[in-house]
């Protein structure tokens, strides 16, 4: 379960001892300063029903999802036509785009040359993907600056 947290200032990552008061005078711009960005406030609307997963293949590349993409999904949201859903299907966990046509259910990967698959077996929809966060470069080995 996630908890609401206020991100504390990390002195190792701050270039100045007291940003905003480097001259000794309070800046008039401080009236318009915003708080620190808390990623959980943006990505999570229901902490009790929010979970995370990681893409292990590139089969959803046409939907902008490649290997290493992190999914944020919510189990309390009702899936609808066009939703990306986390499912248990044919003995494995998958992320697919859901197509609802009448009483028929289809699952797609977004590939142009591939028709969505008609669901014939039992399908368990675990949750609806609310965010996907993908890496744009390889992970660095160290996250803290050395002095």
Model confidence pLDDT, tens digit, residues 79-134: 999 999 999 998 899 999 999 999 999 999 988 888 999 998 889 999 999 999 98
The pLDDT value given to residue 113: 87
Average pLDDT, the chain: 81
Identify which has the larger pLDDT, 14 or 42.
42
The pLDDT value given to residue 146: 57
What is the sign, positive or negative, of the torsion defined by CA atoms of 63, 83, 96, 73? positive
Residue 2: C-alpha distances to residues 37, 42, 49, 76, 111 (Å): 17, 13, 9, 15, 35
Task: Name the 3-class secondary structure at 53.
Answer: strand
Evaluate whether 95 touches 102 at the Cβ level (below 8 Å). Answer: no
The pLDDT value given to residue 2: 33
pTM strictly above 0.85? no
pLDDT in tens, 56-84: 999 999 998 888 899 999 999 999 999 99
Separation between Cα atoms, residue 66 and residue 132, nearest integer Å = 10
Identify which has the larger pLDDT, 141 or 136.
136
Q: Which domains does the chain have, with CATH numbers?
A: 50-133 (2.10.109.10)
Residue 5 binned pLDDT confidence (cut-offs 50, 70, 90): very low
The pLDDT value given to residue 4: 38
């Amino acid at each position: 379960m996630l908890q609401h947290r206020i991100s504390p200032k990390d002195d190792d990552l701050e270039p100045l001892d007291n940003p905003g008061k480097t001259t000794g005078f309070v800046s008039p711009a401080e009236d318009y300063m915003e708080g620190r960005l808390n990623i959980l406030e943006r990505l999570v609307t229901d902490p009790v029903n929010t979970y995370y997963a990681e893409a292990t293949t590139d089969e959803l590349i046409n939907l902008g999802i490649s290997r290493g993409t992190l999914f944020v999904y919510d189990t309390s949201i009702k899936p609808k036509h066009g939703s990306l859903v986390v499912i248990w299907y044919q003995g494995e966990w998958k992320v697919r785009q859901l197509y609802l046509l009448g009483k028929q259910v289809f699952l797609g990967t977004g590939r142009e040359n591939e028709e969505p698959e008609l669901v014939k077996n039992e399908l368990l929809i675990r949750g609806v993907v609310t965010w996907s966060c993908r890496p744009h470069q390889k992970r660095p080995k160290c996250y803290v600056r050395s002095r």
